[in-house]
Structure 1
Amino acid sequence: MSIWRQSKFFEVHNLETVLAVAEAGSFRKAGELLGIGQSAVTRRIQKLEDMLGVSMFERNTTGARLTLAGQNFADRLRLLSIEYLDMMCAAQSAGTAGNGQLRMGLTASISRGTLREVIAKFQTRHANVVLSFTEADLGELMTSLSHRSIDVVGAVGEPISQYGDMMLLTRAPLYIAVGDDHPLAQRRCVEWSDVAAMTFLVSADVIGPTIHDYIIRKFSDFGRQASIEVQRMRREGLINLVGLGLGISLVCEQWCGVRYPNVVFVPLMENGKAETIPFSLTWRPENDNPALRRFLSLAREVAKADAAFSAPWQIPDRLP
């Protein structure tokens, strides 16, 4: 028989009564604390003593005093009650994302943009939640998502339904990264036609293939072939190559929060409107992590506000 099946005979109110009598030093005063009569206190204590086969208290005319066995029992019971309260508080706190962990997979930087705003607000509201991040290519992140080693994926691109539940968080403005001595460096904005003859540098790692395919599709709309060089470098190394004048690069807003030597970011326009790329969140619907639920609720709140106040026809700021 398990300990839980044995312990069902120890009714909670009987245990509570032991502590009340121990603290009050009297059956009568314990009854007043518990809001019951002295006779009910006596019955509860007797029932527990009969179950254990030992006396909990020495009774006398002046009150009740714990026996040695009773003292040991009460001390352990008090520790147990403290642990029980801690357990209940921990469960309630986890239910409101007051603690726990949120594991996020990323294919993009969080130096700037809507996702950074969501994370910053979440951290403020739920400071006890441990945030952990993994940067990898989309395929690796989706595998981790399926195996529940991460909770949510933030990635450039439209939501992909076969991976789970998803939401469009924002449409991030696109920029052309150029060297500060490049002919386009002083422009307020550029269009695809302005960069049609230029060489794009694309990373072979993480988000590179997505950007590569995006450039190919855009140039095919113009009936032209893009000039692309794939470098086996991460985003930071690639932008440093831009600063050395070895080419230009297409970046979304998330990467523009960091300053790079001799590099400026010029907003990209199309047909007079800011060119944007979707940025989405994906998660598994069966994931019941309370921290994830609070994070997604906040993300929807921020996404709604972002959509309400964004004006796609405005030119984004030119960034150094």
Structure 2
Amino acid sequence: MIDRQWGMPTSLGSRIPLASLIQTLAVAEHLNFRHASNALGVSLSSVSARVKTLEEDLGILLFERHARGVRLTEAGKQFVEQIAVGIDQLDHAVKTAGMAAAGECGRLRIGVHALIPGSFLAELIERYRNEHQGINVEITEGTARDAIMQLRADQLDVAFVAGTPELPDCHSRPIWTEPLVAVLPERHQLATQPVLTWADLVGETFLVRQGGTGPQVQDHIVLRLAGRWPAPSILRFDVGRGTLLSMVGQGFGITIFGAATALLPTSGVVFLPIADEPEPAAFSAVWSPFNQGAALRNLLTLANEIGRVNPAGLSRCVSKQPVAQQ
């Protein structure tokens, strides 16, 4: 039961109407009920009644009334100072929640196989950061397998992987494609040819990475050269993309990459198209069906909007349909 005697403060917590607190703050600011009601756009009687009810519920006299207006009591000053802080915090919370719901603030955790300057993915992330500066973008590089595991553990919001995976517990969408190219040392006997075929590569030693898209590249080489003799020799190295290219240049072997790799500054190697590769390699976005965040939705929408041919002819978007909830 609430004690309504003056000077006997009680605890009401969340039972105090927010409108009563806002109107009390307005009276404290203007020190006049009529001016406060005009500022709020409500009736004088409403402000007067709410403040009086609040005082009665609290058991505290907040204002001393007189003919020319009001003035805060000492208890009123303490109360107003505290609720002003609370109202500001509530206002900030409401605005922050609204921005997060609109994808204007927060974070987006992205898993990538590589981030090559000038590539489709690099442009996508750069434009996203420019258009959504309130979003903190975090990048993690790794294999597709690692990225999917991190998605399932809620450690990533979206992963961009090679291929078009069909996962029962994840959504996925093809985003862009890149032609596959063979990377050979400049002094290789095939380096002067304008194009190659898979038959030209029979008997070669292939180098692939253990990380990034290395596992998918190895599977693709095995698939394309299946049944040919001699069988391909495939060596796996725990190195970065740049080191692998350097090893090719030094004659360790050859490799296969998406054409965007040619955008990297390299020396001692050539990038040659493969004439009988049936279609470009697709790259997809993968995300959890439970992730309905606007930050992710805005990224996928932007990926569709970019939908353009890379100036160097190295990548093109394959999905130009509007993003829809799945």
The yes-or-no answer on 1:12 pairing with 2:12 is: no
Counterpart of 2:154 in 1: which secondary structure?
Answer: coil
Identical amino acids, percent of aligned pairs? 29
Amino acid at match of 1:236: G
**As a proportion of its length, which structure holds more helix?**
1
Provide the alpha-carbon RMSD of the alignment.
Answer: 2.5
Runs of 4 or more, structure 1, over 4 Å off, are 221-224, 314-317
2:231 to 210, 221, 225: 225
Unaligned runs of at least 5 residues, structure 2:
1-10, 316-326
Partner of 2:283: 279
1:187 and 1:91 map into 2 onto residues whose CA distance is: 59
Counterpart of 1:238 in 2: which secondary structure?
Answer: helix
1:159 and 1:100 map into 2 onto residues whose CA distance is: 28
Is residue 12–residue 58 contact of structure 2 (8 Å, CA) maintained in 1? no
Paired residues, what number?
A: 304
2:202 and 2:298 map into 1 onto residues whose CA distance is: 44
Partner of 1:160: 166
The yes-or-no answer on 1:54 pairing with 2:67 is: no
Residue 316 of structure 1 and its aligned partner are, at CA, apart by: 5.4
Amino acid at match of 1:294: N
Within-5 A mapping of 1:1-320: 6-220=12-226, 225-270=231-276, 275-302=279-306, 305-306=307-308
1:113/1:60 CA distance change after superposition, 3 Å? same
2:313 and 2:32 map into 1 onto residues whose CA distance is: 79
Amino acid at match of 2:52: Q
- Normalised TM-score (structure 1): 0.86
1:6/1:175 CA distance change after superposition, 3 Å? farther
2:314 and 2:44 map into 1 onto residues whose CA distance is: 77
1:168 and 1:231 map into 2 onto residues whose CA distance is: 28
Deviation string 1:241-286 (CA, Å, 9 cap, x unpaired) is 0111221110113433321232232233227x7x521111111101
Deviation string 1:37-58 (CA, Å, 9 cap, x unpaired) is 3333221111011111111111
Is residue 159–residue 168 contact of structure 1 (8 Å, CA) maintained in 2? no
Residue 204 of structure 1 and its aligned partner are, at CA, apart by: 2.7
Counterpart of 1:256 in 2: which secondary structure?
Answer: helix
1:218 and 1:82 map into 2 onto residues whose CA distance is: 64
Amino acid at match of 1:280: S
1:159 and 1:8 map into 2 onto residues whose CA distance is: 50
Amino acid at match of 1:295: L
Is residue 178–residue 314 contact of structure 2 (8 Å, CA) maintained in 1? no
Counterpart of 2:226 in 1: which secondary structure?
Answer: helix
1:124 and 1:301 map into 2 onto residues whose CA distance is: 15
1:88 and 1:199 map into 2 onto residues whose CA distance is: 60
Residue 125 of structure 1 and its aligned partner are, at CA, apart by: 1.0
- Normalised TM-score (structure 2): 0.84
* Larger deviation, residues 132-141 vs 80-89: 132-141
Residue 71 of structure 1 and its aligned partner are, at CA, apart by: 1.3
Counterpart of 2:263 in 1: which secondary structure?
Answer: coil
Amino acid at match of 1:285: P
Deviation string 1:61-86 (CA, Å, 9 cap, x unpaired) is 11111111111111222222221121
